[in-house]
Amino acid sequence: MPILETRGLNKHFGGLHVTADVNLALDDGELHCLIGPNGAGKSTLFRLILGEHAPSSGSILYAGGDITALKSFERIRRGMSVKFQVPGIFKALSARHNLEIALQHHLEGGSLDAETDRLLAFLNLSEVATQLAGNLSHGQKQWLEIGMAISLKPKLLLLDEPTAGMSPAETFATGEIVKTLNAGGVTILAVEHDMSFVRQVARRVTVLHLGRIFAQGTVEEIVADERVAAIYLGQGHA
Amino acid sequence: MIRHSRFIKLLEGPQTLGRGPLFWGMAGLVLLVGYAYGVLTLNFGAAYGFTLIALLASLASTAVFAAVLGYFLYFGRISGVFLGIVTLSVTLVFERFMAQTAGPEWHIGVARLNGFNGMSGMPPLTLPWFGGNIVLFPDIGLYYFVLALLVLTYLGLRILVNSKFGNVLVAIRENPERAEMLGYDVRKYQLVAFVIGAVLAGLSGTLYTAWGQYITPSSMSITAAALPIVWVAVGGRGDVTATLIGTLAVLAAFQALTIYGSQYALVVMGLLLVATVLVAPEGLIVTAAKLAGRLGRGSKESA
């Protein structure tokens, strides 16, 4: 049974159809990548799933229930979590404090400290735990936000360009973090531009183009698909 | 342009100059509570510690009013510059309304509202005590009572800021979207924080009324509404201690300057606000503390 399903999801801003009739289903435990050229509607789809935008029509089902009308924080409380494209961290607080705010939902006292330590180590952030989050390197900020997102022990984790701006080594390390999480049972939907990352982690890939699902398949199928190459490179190269 | 936008930000709500919402409207609440205290005590007197009950009832009425106003502000998704505009408008509406209540038909019980002249003759705070009440005339007694309340409020706010609830408030100040995406109902937290702020403003209003034994609409004019902004902006609003020290310093300076005339003092306050916004938007004390910290680290590293 899918953990997340969008049915006929549409979003238009005035006459601009950003998301058009998107039917996307994510199986429980899947690691799914969403790719597509700039302006394909990936971020809007994320915001629809998160409840930051209300769809113009269509519905979103999550864990067997219709969540279309729920507010963002209610969706989060049902086991969704997100890592934004631009790291959404609390810059004026220490890395440790950032994680504590995320963890205090379900933990306190000694177990909160222990889990914070565990997460810092898992994310290679132990050394910088007391530094202000705003002073961390770009990659560390991305990891810290992934840490905040997984603090909630989500069933479904949405990652919006988790490796944006990262070095190849950081990208690879992020890929391993994502694979470890998925092996632990977390369903993951990632928007990503970096194809090396997609190859490293994903099994199934969905390509969005002009707000519609353009292609869907395994990584190998998508990489071999000439139509997909054409929309990335422009029609002139087809 | 950048500097101009800082002034716009001063009117704004969340993340104003990077430091949480700023309300121009707290003065309106001071006015409301001052009148509530007046109406209650003029009607029911001061015996049996009733002034304390009047104080608590006034605070409760502020809390209710702030909860209703805050509900429309936050659940109506009013944000940014509009929080400042709406709260300032509420204050000015109160002031205008009270100023036109000069006629004898404007009374609640025996308490005449008295229009622009305001309400006067309220009893000072009276604490019931074994072997006789302690009446807190505007003197040493009231001073220590207010000082004790200040210490309690300060400690209470520190505890609040370091609690789980405070953690979420700090998170909302830093990044409301992220806070919501951690599963926190941001609007509820903002509403509760707004009510807490309103009750504290109300407390100051009651104390002001009990001290001077009068309240007039002009106590809460646009000038009066703007002054608290100067107090907190100069010290720095990101830190309770900085706000406290800043307020004490600015008020002391203001009092000293009024020797030369109250308008003159106001001009200086305005200049101080402009200077703070341009030079140290986080507040003079917070900025100074940060500089000192940076210098301290620098000297350690070079040593």
Determine the distance in angstroms separating the CA of A90 from the nearest CA of chain B, rounded to an integer. 5
Query: What pLDDT was estimated at residue A233?
Result: 67
For chain A, domain boundaries:
29-46+70-202+214-237
Tell me, yes or no, whether B114 and B130 share the same domain.
Answer: yes
Position A213, amino acid: I
Q: What is the CATH number of domain A29-46+70-202+214-237?
A: 3.40.50.300
A-chain residue closest to B183, CA distance: A73
Among A206-220, B6-20, B61-75, B181-195, whose mean pLDDT is lowest?
B6-20
Tell me, yes or no, whether B75 and B177 share the same domain.
Answer: yes
Give strand ranges (E) for A69-180: 80-83, 156-160
Q: Quickly state the pLDDT bin for A108 (edges 50, 70, 90).
A: confident
What total of structural domains would you count in chain B? Answer: 2
Query: What pLDDT was estimated at residue A14?
Result: 82
**B229-266 burial string, b = 16+ CB within 10 Å, else e?**
bbbbbbbbbbbbebbbbbbeebeeebeebeeeeeeebb
Please say which residue of B220, B240, B273 terminates a domain: B220
Determine the distance in angstroms separating the CA of A71 from the nearest CA of chain B, rounded to an integer. 9
Residue B112, helix vs strand vs coil: strand
Range B40-56 average pLDDT = 84
Q: Quickly state the pLDDT bin for A234 (edges 50, 70, 90).
A: low
Report pLDDT digits (tens) over B76-94.
Answer: 878 777 887 888 888 888 8
pTM (2 d.p.): 0.84
Task: Please tell me the number of Cα atoms within 13 Å of A100 on its side-chain side.
Answer: 23
Tell me, yes or no, whether B252 and B129 share the same domain.
Answer: no
Tell me, yes or no, whether B200 and B121 share the same domain.
Answer: yes
Residue B69, helix vs strand vs coil: helix
Determine the distance in angstroms separating the CA of B167 from the nearest CA of chain A, rounded to an integer. 6
Tell me, yes or no, whether B177 and B108 share the same domain.
Answer: yes
Q: Mutate which of A72, A74, A86, A89 to disrupt the B interface (most B C-beta within 10 Å)? A: A72
User: In terms of Cα–Cα distance, which of B153, B131, B133 is closest to B207?
Assistant: B153
Residue with tokens 């139509």: A227
Residue B4 belongs to a domain: no
Tell me, yes or no, whether B85 and B194 share the same domain.
Answer: yes
Residues belonging to chain B with any Cβ–Cβ distance to chain A shorter than 8 Å: 18, 164, 167-168, 170-171, 174-175, 177-178, 180-186, 238
Supply the range of the domain harboring residue B255.
Answer: 221-297
Contact list in B for residue A91 (CB cut-off 8 A) is 174-175
User: In terms of Cα–Cα distance, which of B168, B210, B174 is closest to B19?
Assistant: B174
Tell me, yes or no, whether B211 and B228 share the same domain.
Answer: no
Tell me, yes or no, whether B27 and B121 share the same domain.
Answer: yes
Contact list in B for residue A52 (CB cut-off 8 A) is 177
Tell me, yes or no, whether B280 and B206 share the same domain.
Answer: no
Contact list in B for residue A53 (CB cut-off 8 A) is none
Residue B104 belongs to a domain: yes
> Taking 90 as the threshold, does the pLDDT of residue A222 lie above it?
no
Cα A50–Cα A56–Cα A60 angle in degrees, nearest 5: 40
Tell me, yes or no, whether B48 and B150 share the same domain.
Answer: yes
> Taking 60 as the threshold, does the pLDDT of residue A79 lie above it?
yes
Tell me, yes or no, whether B111 and B181 share the same domain.
Answer: yes
Report pLDDT digits (tens) over A124-173.
Answer: 888 888 889 889 888 889 889 999 998 989 999 999 988 888 888 888 98
Determine the distance in angstroms separating the CA of B20 from the nearest CA of chain A, rounded to an integer. 13
Residue B121 belongs to a domain: yes
B-chain residue closest to A109, CA distance: B164
Query: What pLDDT was estimated at residue B148?
Result: 93
Determine the distance in angstroms separating the CA of A238 from the nearest CA of chain B, rounded to an integer. 41
Query: What pLDDT was estimated at residue A237?
Result: 43
Report pLDDT digits (tens) over B169-190.
Answer: 989 988 888 999 999 999 999 9
Contact list in B for residue A93 (CB cut-off 8 A) is 170, 174
> Taking 90 as the threshold, does the pLDDT of residue A80 lie above it?
yes
Please say which residue of B220, B243, B275 terminates a domain: B220
Query: What pLDDT was estimated at residue B156?
Result: 93
Instruction: Verify whether the Cβ–Cβ distance A88 to B180 is below 8 Å.
Output: no
CA A33 to CA A159: how far, in whole Å? 9
Q: In this structure, what token pair is assigned to residue B84?
A: 């400042």
What crossing angle do the helices spanning B262-279 and B240-257 adopt, rounded to 10°? Answer: 150
Tell me, yes or no, whether B186 and B241 share the same domain.
Answer: no
User: In terms of Cα–Cα distance, which of A159, A147, A164 is closest to A96?
Assistant: A147
Contact list in B for residue A151 (CB cut-off 8 A) is 182
